Structure 1
Amino acid sequence: MLVLFVEDDPMNRRVVRDMLRVVGSVMEEAEEAATGLEMLAARPYDMVLMDLRMPGMDGITAIRLLRETPGPNQSTPVIVVTADMAPDLRASCLAVGADEVIVKPVAMAALLDAMARLAPQEAADEFVID
């Protein structure tokens, strides 16, 4: 499975990359939302992980633009990965087109569970750790 993680913190990217490597997924990275949108316009991904608080464009805006712009990833599942615990955050993310929200620090079980629920049926078994 090919995953794009849009996240400005290199440590967070490394941790998630290591988690995904365990289940055989390949992760590409973007350090900012604008770069992530460029990558999403250029090729299809199986899943997008999106931080919310980044310099420049925030994740909410990036998700909204992704969903509004025709392209190979307009309907690709998006999981928001955030440390923000604002009460209405989940509703705001879902309203712009995110499919799930998980909190940092990322727990491997939470990430893989969300990915298994959103992945195409033929790929869902990838995210089960025995």
Structure 2
Amino acid sequence: MNVLFIEDDRMNRRVVRDMLEVAGADMEEAESAEEGLRLVDINDYDMLLVDLRMPGMDGITAIRHVRAREDAKGRVPIIVVTADTAIDLRERCIAAGADDVIFKPVAMDNLFDAMGRVLAAHGDDLLE
């Protein structure tokens, strides 16, 4: 499984990378939404993990850009990874096109549960 994590915090990216490596998944990193969208243009991913609060473009806007694509990349599963606890956060993320939302600090079981739910909804296995 090839995952792109769009997250401005290096330590958060490292923690999630370590978790995904345990499961045998590969992870690429983007430090900004703009960089993440460029990587989506040139690479194929099985899933995107997207932070909401980043300098420049925010995660909701990045998700909308991905969902606006007319090719298969516009349907890639997306999980929001956030520390935001706003009451309407989940609804806003789903309305933007996210498949699920998990909260920081990320726990391995929460990450893998969300990945499993999202991939099952897309008809795929958690890890190939």
Q: In which range does the TM-score fall when normalised by the shorter chain?
A: over 0.9
User: Hey, what does 1:52 align to over in structure 2?
Assistant: 52
User: Quick check: 1:76 aligned with 2:113?
Assistant: no
Give, in angstroms, the shift of residue 70 of structure 1: 2.6
CA distance change for structure 1 residues 34 and 103 in 2, over 3 Å: closer, same or farther? Answer: same
Structure 2's unaligned 5+ residue stretches are none
Q: Distance between the aligned counterparts of 2:124 and 2:97, measured in 1?
A: 23
Paired residue secondary structure (1:74): helix
Give the alignment's Cα RMSD to 1 decimal: 1.4
Would the aligned equivalents of 1:41 and 1:72 in 2 still touch at CA under 8 Å? Answer: no
Give the alignment's TM-score, normalised by structure 1: 0.92
Structure 1 portions without partners, runs of 5+: none
1:16 counterpart residue number: 16
The alignment of Structure 1 onto Structure 2 pairs a total of residues equal to 126
With normalisation by structure 2, the TM-score equals: 0.93
Deviations 1:20-71 (A, max 9, x none): 0000000000000000001111121000000000000000000001101234
1:123 aligned to 2:118?
no
Moved over 6 A (4+): none
Q: Distance in 2 between matches of 1:30 and 1:73?
A: 17
Letter in 2 for 1:108: M
- Contact 1:43–1:72 (Cα < 8 Å) also in 2: no
Q: Secondary structure at the residue paired with 1:4?
A: strand
Identity of aligned residues (%): 59
Rounded to whole Å, the distance in 2 between the matches of 1:90 and 1:122 is 23
> Equivalents in 2 of 1:70, 1:32: separation in Å?
23
Residue type of the alignment partner of 1:78: I
Helix, strand or coil at the partner of 2:56: coil
